[in-house]
Amino acid sequence: MQTTEQTEDVAEVLEEITPEQWQVIRAALEAEDAVALKEALAPVHPADIADLLEQVDTDQRSRFLRLYAAEFEGEILSEIDESIREEVIEVLPPEVLAEAVRELDSDDLVDILEDLEQPERDFILRSLEKKDRAAVQSAMAWPESSAGRLMQWETVTAPQDFNVGEMIDYLRSAEWLPDQFYHIILVDAEGKPTGYVTLGRVLASRRDVALVDIAEESFRTVKATEDEAEVAHLFNKYHLISMPVVDEAERLVGVITIDDAMNVLDEEHEEDILRLAGVSEESSLSDPIWDTTRGRFVWLFINLLTAIFASFVISMFEAEIDALVALAVLMPIVASMGGNAGTQSMTVAVRALATRELTGKNARRVLWREVVVGVLNGCAFGIIMSLVAGFWFGLPMLALVIAVAMMLTLAAAAFAGIVLPLALDRMGVDPALASGPFVTTVTDVVGFFAFLGLASLVLL
């Protein structure tokens, strides 16, 4: 059972569930009152119910699923974080799970099945109707993180020689249509997509207008084997709403919609942020302590090795530091400023690489820009630190040393922050994952060497 403090924390995280609603929900769970729980959650969106399931502890989650089983929707399952989805599936009664998955589109089903163990995956597949099972299995046959895994097979197509009147009559007489669709895809006799038309244009046009005459100029297709990150990039670049997916023979096999593309973009952004910190992209606040510890150990160990290397550089100037204690006092300032400047440039570079804004064609211009920024900031902060050091220690030459060292360090940090991510990207290594430790090492080594080396030449 959660403590009062824990329940207050849950209420703060649940943005769309008011504290009053949460108190009613919690009381219903404690009293095991299924009717009260159903009434409390009636106005709540499935995505918010998924958030609630992620925030409560394991015991409350199990109690919730047992009491709310009759109302459990497939959309809740698709919105639940991957880290607890399998746990939820194991707790749900089989008949509830079977009914829930039947409500989902094929792309949502594939997303769920990808993260499940084989027994759970087999059960869900057996729960589907034959045509849905075939569609999901066909999608699962495409490579992981490909457009084929991201697409849904539910599409609305029309012969390319149809006019508006024929299309409207077809839609009205169709026994089945997707719950939501944005485009009518035009196909030729071989099943190859040749264009698409928005529903709005169909409804706004006269019956005798040919569909090809009101087709969208934004039409493009993507191969089912294309990486999903590239698909998301195309959606974002060309402002697409949906995009047909084709096989190697250019035949239509499905469609990707904007919500799935935006989910990929969100995941890519989240992965970049986590990797910049040396954390696995699969990390979650609900992960076991041991798994989290083990996942972070590798990059912390690499950071330790780079820190030892930077300390070795400091040890080369041990006599100088003993002779002038002020060096030990000011040295961390130089390294810290260099590290922050390097992180700024590195973050810009990693993000630009991910969005295709930084390429081999403009790398030299971007590098020059960042180095100039580093030099200008280095001069500015060098002047500031020279005044601080001169006032603090009363040594004019020490002020000059730290000013020059600051400028060199920030320029080197800007250079490393761009060049290292570019080099790693060219080598096929994810720059978001590997740049941090190396950029930090460069800035520390350059900072310590510049400051202590200049001090040994000028002051001692």
Is residue 331's pLDDT more than 90? no
* Alpha-carbon Rg for the chain in angstroms: 29
Strand ranges, E, within 18-145: none
Could you tell me the pLDDT band of residue 5, with boundaries at 50, 70 and 90?
Answer: very low
State pLDDT tens for residues 218-267: 899 999 999 998 898 899 888 899 999 999 999 999 999 998 888 888 77
- Taking the C-alpha atoms of residue 426 and residue 353, their distance in angstroms, rounded to an integer, is 11
Q: How many other C-beta atoms are found inside a 10 Å radius of the C-beta of residue 387?
A: 12
Q: What is the pLDDT of residue 69?
A: 87
Residue with the larger pLDDT of the pair 295 and 324: 324
pTM, entire model? 0.62
| pLDDT tens per residue across span 103-121 | 888 888 888 888 777 888 8
- CATH of 289-458 given 3.40.50.300, 1.10.357.20, 3.20.20.120, 3.30.830.10: 1.10.357.20
Residue 4: pLDDT band with limits 50, 70, 90 = very low
Cα–Cα distance for residue pair 200/83, rounded to 1 Å: 40
pLDDT computed for residue 430 by the predictor: 74
Identity of the highest mean pLDDT range in 97-106, 127-136, 162-171, 260-269:
162-171
- pLDDT tens digits along 446-460: 888 888 888 888 876
Tell me the pLDDT tens digit for each residue of 365-398: 888 988 899 889 888 988 888 888 888 888 888 8
Query: CA 164, CA 258: separation in Å to the nearest integer?
Result: 25
d(CA 19, CA 25): 10
Closest CA to 437 of 197, 277, 253: 277
Q: Which CATH number fits domain 4-145: 2.60.120.10, 3.30.70.260, 1.10.3720.10, 1.25.60.10?
A: 1.25.60.10
Dihedral sign computed on CA atoms, order 341, 445, 312, 335? negative
Q: Is the pLDDT of residue 335 over 90?
A: no
In angstroms, how far is CA 72 from the centroid of its own chain? 28
Q: Where are the domains of the chain?
A: 4-145, 157-276, 289-458
Listed range (274-278, 319-323, 434-438) with the worst mean pLDDT: 274-278
Looking at residue 241, the DSSP 8-state letter turns out to be S
The single-letter DSSP state of residue 114 is: T
Residue 307 and residue 438 in contact, taking contact as beta carbons nearer than 8 Å: no
Question: What DSSP character marks residue 277?
Answer: T
**Smallest Cα–Cα separation from 113: which of 180, 246, 262, 105?**
105
Q: Residues 203-222: what's their mean pLDDT?
A: 94
Q: Where does the pLDDT of residue 284 fall: very low under 50, low under 70, confident under 90, or very high at 90 and above?
A: low
Give 140-149 pLDDT, tens digit per residue. Answer: 888 888 999 9
157-276 placed in CATH 3.30.1280.10:
no
- What percent of the chain has a predicted confidence (pLDDT) above 70? 89
Q: Of 156-160, 238-242, 288-292, which gets the smallest average pLDDT?
A: 288-292
Residue 77 has a CB neighbour count (10 Å cut-off) of 24
315-336 exposure pattern, b = at least 16 Cβ within 10 A, e = fewer: eebeebbeebebbeebbebbbe
